[in-house]
A and B are shown apart, each in its own frame.
Chain A
């Protein structure tokens, strides 16, 4: 009880006395989130960061509940996709900030009003267990009858990146919804997020999968029996944008956080953690082809936002998922 009281007391003190504290909601993996926060604090001594990690969809549900209860916690969001943030910006839940660092970014990577800025490129490609005989090279290979019951993928009902992946592939002329119908007929498993999908492939339970690049490439470097393929049709991508809530209690430090993520040092860290940085003129991490060789599939965020609900409904119908 004593420690409980003490901790409550500290929490109270922290929220009143320590003005220079921001709360971050992020969908980055735990270890990356901690590294990002540590680097930011090192560059901005005196600022504290509390962070919470969860999948983008679940994090948004939590945030919605907090808004409804009149007590939104985060100052800053660093989550998978621009579509979610575009929706929030339209609802007036985000505050605009023109970061001076934006000059070094492709204009397509941030909102013109400054509601959100992309921090990295996370592509979704094919992952396979190295125990299989032949490596797939195209999206179509996963819908081939020879791989029946062998494929796993993250559910767009669960992961922001997966929803964008769905929008990208179904929007592609050569693939479209026919492709997803093929996957469904092939009994591809579409449950949970990228984490669960990677696990299924690394464990060999489902030797083939669609997954975000860094999970596969990074774990491969650690010895996991997996390999990652950039399919010939190209890859879908999310950009993990950062945004400041309009309800932020500490806007000044939140802006510093945004600037840090977009700065040279912040992008070096992104590279070092094994992601493709969004900033112009940066390299790619080990294990990736040169950035010019990565073919990005066409994607329209506004269109994706408009179709999000219909896409989810159609997907549920095809895969019988809740």
Chain B
């Protein structure tokens, strides 16, 4: 950073930085602080009594244990699946990689409760698919997915994309020269992988594992759909059940539970930071050419195996979902004479809640993406130029609302907004509380890519504009915006797709008229309308896949880096 920058920045910049920073801190960190205060006070005075009481309850301990078990083993499943795919896709000469990657991204983009719903449709004595094929297990046999193992399996599938993406990014930064040097020295096949590639990718593998663990820990949709029916509670579902059953009278109690989840999540994040800090490998050489180790005769069998897995985790459950949505009542086998679109018609055209939820989810997702872009673009740039102490502190904490499970953030939001300071007004029960929660939750998703792209910017460009007298606003518009636009667009796409499918945050914050799509599916299934829930879930899967396909098709016209799963 040059001397001109330290002294030459305009006062306008300082003021703008402070203003945006205050807004950003209010949006992201204030709820977390409010939650913390609730847990360690009793009627205004500091007290640990409540915390001791809640932590001593047997249900708390069993939920904590269940959370650790399902998130832990779920991460192992993700790790095995995601790493296998990442190594094979990034290092070998597989064909149709783009299509494979696209299909692998879909489980991440499909809401977890739809994943759970679709899997329960293809297994157990209830399966319309198995019944139609005459393979259904006998009456009275349990649904195998209603178990810790079921939750672990689906958490693993849901989050394998995270491992896949982080690991592939790590693999791509390995210069081909290193591998070629090893090969020239006589290393072959597995040995290259074991002795050269694996050690180089361990840091990104570890970081990906930590993120996956924290995400699985906060997952609500899967343990809710698979665990609640058999009384297997994880921390997020315990919080949900307490709040749903008793209302805001138990807010203080659940805030302690929320802090407990938060503590485990933060431990996971610290672990990730630790591993990333150790990533001090200095690699040289070009990374432009992707690696393409020849698989030789094994190529076709490996390809068949990979596509088989994709089929099993993606296509099969979707068929189950479709079959259930097409029969008139639960338990009826699907035959030509039983096919009906009645449930589709009912849920899509007769139920006003569906249209409401589409408008809400779409508006919230688009609104959050847009608002975040407006805040994050100037903020990231100003923080890059003026490293004030407050800015640095914020930088180190802004991942927190995203890292904390959605349930935790929702509780924090309710505490913060149920009584607005200095007024009688409340945001609880309005759409704004969901909107603000989305802003807090997805702040890091938008901010980090923009920040990364601005770090690579040559400050000379901005200085040149400044030296010819361009105002702050003009420099932002004409220099910074175009240069960081691809990163912002990638962030916006990710924010939009995740917010569109969101359940965990809105499950606690929805109210009359502010239902989101995730909430509607969950509630329909909960009331026994599994067919209608399946029909709506199928619709959402189609919409998400269409959106992704559209982005993929248009990706050639976008600058490099806009499509998140292609970076």
Contact = CB atoms under 8 A, between A and B. Distances in A.
B238 A205 contact: no
B351 interface: yes
Name the residue among A4, A158, A196 with the largest chain B CB count within 10 angstroms: A4
Contacts of B526: 55, 192-193, 195-196
B476 interface: no
B247 A64 contact: yes
| Chain A at the B interface: SS class | mixed
Interface string A15-35: 000000001010001110010
Interface stretch (B106-114, B137-145, B192-200, B446-454): B137-145
A70 B59 CA distance: 32
Name the residue among B59, B229, B525, B528 with the largest chain A CB count within 10 angstroms: B528
A10 B418 CA distance: 24
B247 A3 contact: no
A226 interface: yes
A58 B428 CA distance: 16
A195 B142 contact: no
Nearest to A203: B126
A179 to B, nearest CB: 21
Interface in A43-80: 50, 52-55, 57-58, 60-66, 68-71, 73-74
B328 to A, nearest CB: 4
Interface in B276-330: 327-330
A213 to B, nearest CB: 14
Contacts of B140: 149-150, 204-207
Given A1-B366, A224-B330, A322-B238, A158 B245 contact: yes
A307 interface: no
Q: Chain A interface: which size bin? A: 35 or more
B330 A61 contact: no
A92 interface: no
A223 B139 contact: no
A203 B125 contact: yes
Contacts, number: 188
Nearest to A14: B513
A81 B59 CA distance: 29
Interface string B46-87: 000000000000010000000000000000000000000000
A30 B229 CA distance: 21
Contacts of A205: 124-126, 140-143
Contacts of B246: 61
Given A4-B364, A205-B142, A219-B330, A322 B248 contact: no
A71 B433 CA distance: 14
Given A61-B247, A322-B59, A25 B332 contact: no
Contact of B528 (A64, A69, A195): A195
A149 to B, nearest CB: 7
A3 B524 CA distance: 25
B530 A199 contact: yes
A196 B248 contact: no
B458 interface: no
20 contacts: A4-B363, A34-B350, A34-B351, A50-B513, A54-B527, A57-B244, A62-B511, A66-B428, A66-B511, A69-B418, A69-B419, A131-B139, A149-B140, A158-B245, A193-B527, A195-B528, A199-B528, A206-B140, A224-B332, A322-B233
